[in-house]
Amino acid sequence: MNKAMLTVGIIILSLATLLMINIISNYSSGSELDYYLVKETSEAAMIDAIDVKYYRDNGLLRMDKEKFVESFIRRFADSVDTTRNYKLSFYDLNEVPPKVSVKVDSSTVLSFKGSNLEMSTKLDAILENTYESDPLVTNQLKDFDSDLGKALED
Protein backbone atom coordinates (compact mmCIF):
# COMPACT_ATOMS: atom_id res chain seq x y z
CA MET A 1 0.00 0.00 0.00
CA ASN A 2 2.85 2.37 0.82
CA LYS A 3 4.53 1.94 -2.60
CA ALA A 4 1.22 2.38 -4.42
CA MET A 5 0.55 5.71 -2.68
CA LEU A 6 4.11 6.83 -3.37
CA THR A 7 3.64 6.00 -7.09
CA VAL A 8 0.32 7.89 -7.21
CA GLY A 9 1.97 10.87 -5.49
CA ILE A 10 4.83 10.92 -7.97
CA ILE A 11 2.39 10.76 -10.90
CA ILE A 12 0.30 13.63 -9.51
CA LEU A 13 3.42 15.72 -8.83
CA SER A 14 4.74 15.09 -12.36
CA LEU A 15 1.39 16.08 -13.93
CA ALA A 16 1.32 19.28 -11.87
CA THR A 17 4.89 20.05 -12.95
CA LEU A 18 4.08 19.48 -16.61
CA LEU A 19 1.05 21.75 -16.29
CA MET A 20 3.14 24.55 -14.76
CA ILE A 21 5.84 24.18 -17.42
CA ASN A 22 3.17 24.39 -20.13
CA ILE A 23 1.65 27.54 -18.61
CA ILE A 24 5.01 29.28 -18.19
CA SER A 25 6.19 28.41 -21.70
CA ASN A 26 2.85 29.58 -23.13
CA TYR A 27 3.28 33.03 -21.58
CA SER A 28 6.97 33.41 -22.41
CA SER A 29 6.68 32.29 -26.03
CA GLY A 30 3.39 34.18 -26.43
CA SER A 31 5.06 37.46 -25.52
CA GLU A 32 7.81 36.95 -28.09
CA LEU A 33 5.34 35.94 -30.79
CA ASP A 34 3.17 38.96 -30.02
CA TYR A 35 6.15 41.31 -30.39
CA TYR A 36 7.15 39.97 -33.80
CA LEU A 37 3.53 39.88 -34.95
CA VAL A 38 2.99 43.54 -33.97
CA LYS A 39 6.31 44.57 -35.53
CA GLU A 40 5.72 42.88 -38.89
CA THR A 41 2.06 43.87 -39.04
CA SER A 42 2.72 47.55 -38.29
CA GLU A 43 5.52 47.72 -40.86
CA ALA A 44 3.34 46.20 -43.58
CA ALA A 45 0.35 48.36 -42.65
CA MET A 46 2.48 51.53 -42.76
CA ILE A 47 3.71 50.67 -46.24
CA ASP A 48 0.11 49.96 -47.32
CA ALA A 49 -1.02 53.34 -45.97
CA ILE A 50 1.57 55.46 -47.83
CA ASP A 51 -0.05 58.18 -49.95
CA VAL A 52 1.66 57.69 -53.32
CA LYS A 53 0.23 60.84 -54.92
CA TYR A 54 1.57 63.02 -52.09
CA TYR A 55 4.96 61.33 -52.42
CA ARG A 56 5.06 61.97 -56.18
CA ASP A 57 4.05 65.61 -55.77
CA ASN A 58 6.20 66.58 -52.77
CA GLY A 59 8.85 63.89 -52.38
CA LEU A 60 7.82 63.30 -48.76
CA LEU A 61 6.30 60.20 -47.21
CA ARG A 62 2.79 60.68 -45.88
CA MET A 63 0.65 58.00 -44.26
CA ASP A 64 -3.14 57.94 -44.16
CA LYS A 65 -4.20 57.24 -40.54
CA GLU A 66 -7.50 55.53 -41.34
CA LYS A 67 -5.95 53.32 -43.97
CA PHE A 68 -3.20 52.30 -41.52
CA VAL A 69 -5.67 51.31 -38.81
CA GLU A 70 -7.83 49.37 -41.28
CA SER A 71 -4.84 47.53 -42.75
CA PHE A 72 -3.34 46.81 -39.32
CA ILE A 73 -6.54 45.33 -37.93
CA ARG A 74 -7.12 43.23 -41.06
CA ARG A 75 -3.56 41.87 -41.12
CA PHE A 76 -3.47 41.31 -37.35
CA ALA A 77 -6.78 39.43 -37.37
CA ASP A 78 -5.51 37.15 -40.13
CA SER A 79 -2.42 36.19 -38.11
CA VAL A 80 -3.54 35.84 -34.49
CA ASP A 81 -3.95 32.71 -32.43
CA THR A 82 -7.58 31.94 -31.53
CA THR A 83 -6.69 30.70 -28.04
CA ARG A 84 -5.79 34.22 -26.90
CA ASN A 85 -7.81 37.37 -26.36
CA TYR A 86 -6.38 40.59 -27.84
CA LYS A 87 -7.03 44.26 -27.20
CA LEU A 88 -5.56 46.76 -29.68
CA SER A 89 -4.76 50.38 -28.81
CA PHE A 90 -3.39 53.00 -31.20
CA TYR A 91 -1.49 55.99 -29.83
CA ASP A 92 0.20 58.88 -31.60
CA LEU A 93 -0.66 58.26 -35.24
CA ASN A 94 1.35 60.86 -37.17
CA GLU A 95 0.97 61.38 -40.91
CA VAL A 96 4.17 63.28 -41.79
CA PRO A 97 6.63 61.69 -41.11
CA PRO A 98 4.80 58.37 -40.76
CA LYS A 99 4.93 57.39 -37.08
CA VAL A 100 2.72 55.04 -35.10
CA SER A 101 2.56 53.77 -31.55
CA VAL A 102 0.65 50.53 -31.11
CA LYS A 103 -0.11 48.65 -27.91
CA VAL A 104 -1.44 45.10 -27.90
CA ASP A 105 -2.71 43.48 -24.70
CA SER A 106 -3.11 39.72 -24.91
CA SER A 107 -4.32 37.15 -22.44
CA THR A 108 -4.88 33.43 -22.61
CA VAL A 109 -8.07 31.61 -21.77
CA LEU A 110 -6.47 30.36 -18.54
CA SER A 111 -7.22 32.53 -15.53
CA PHE A 112 -5.83 32.72 -12.00
CA LYS A 113 -8.35 33.44 -9.21
CA GLY A 114 -10.91 34.72 -11.69
CA SER A 115 -8.65 37.23 -13.46
CA ASN A 116 -6.63 36.84 -16.62
CA LEU A 117 -2.94 37.60 -16.77
CA GLU A 118 -2.43 40.17 -19.53
CA MET A 119 0.79 40.73 -21.43
CA SER A 120 1.33 44.11 -23.06
CA THR A 121 3.39 44.67 -26.16
CA LYS A 122 4.05 48.27 -27.16
CA LEU A 123 5.76 49.26 -30.39
CA ASP A 124 6.77 52.67 -31.75
CA ALA A 125 7.58 52.73 -35.47
CA ILE A 126 8.77 55.47 -37.81
CA LEU A 127 8.94 55.07 -41.57
CA GLU A 128 11.82 57.01 -43.10
CA ASN A 129 12.89 57.97 -46.58
CA THR A 130 16.45 58.18 -47.87
CA TYR A 131 16.35 61.61 -49.52
CA GLU A 132 19.28 63.97 -48.96
CA SER A 133 17.25 67.00 -47.91
CA ASP A 134 13.62 67.86 -47.39
CA PRO A 135 12.23 69.07 -50.76
CA LEU A 136 9.63 71.34 -49.15
CA VAL A 137 12.18 73.07 -46.95
CA THR A 138 14.61 73.41 -49.87
CA ASN A 139 11.91 75.01 -52.06
CA GLN A 140 10.88 77.36 -49.25
CA LEU A 141 14.50 78.39 -48.70
CA LYS A 142 14.95 79.07 -52.43
CA ASP A 143 11.80 81.23 -52.43
CA PHE A 144 13.00 83.05 -49.29
CA ASP A 145 16.44 83.66 -50.81
CA SER A 146 14.95 85.03 -54.03
CA ASP A 147 12.55 87.29 -52.08
CA LEU A 148 15.40 88.46 -49.85
CA GLY A 149 17.57 89.16 -52.90
CA LYS A 150 14.82 91.21 -54.51
CA ALA A 151 14.26 93.13 -51.27
CA LEU A 152 17.99 93.93 -50.96
CA GLU A 153 18.17 95.15 -54.57
CA ASP A 154 15.37 97.64 -53.99
Overall pTM > 0.85: no
Domain that holds residue 94: 29-153
The answer to whether residue 41 sits within a structural domain is yes
Domain total for the chain?
1
The answer to whether residue 70 sits within a structural domain is yes
The answer to whether residue 17 sits within a structural domain is no
The answer to whether residue 33 sits within a structural domain is yes
The answer to whether residue 75 sits within a structural domain is yes
The answer to whether residue 131 sits within a structural domain is yes
Nearest C-alpha neighbor of 72 from the set 50, 52, 54, 49: 49
Tens of pLDDT, residues 79-124? 887 777 888 899 888 888 888 999 988 876 566 666 667 778 888 8
The answer to whether residue 47 sits within a structural domain is yes
Report CA-CA distances (Å) from 11 to 4, 5, 6, 17, 87.
Answer: 11, 10, 9, 10, 38
The answer to whether residue 11 sits within a structural domain is no
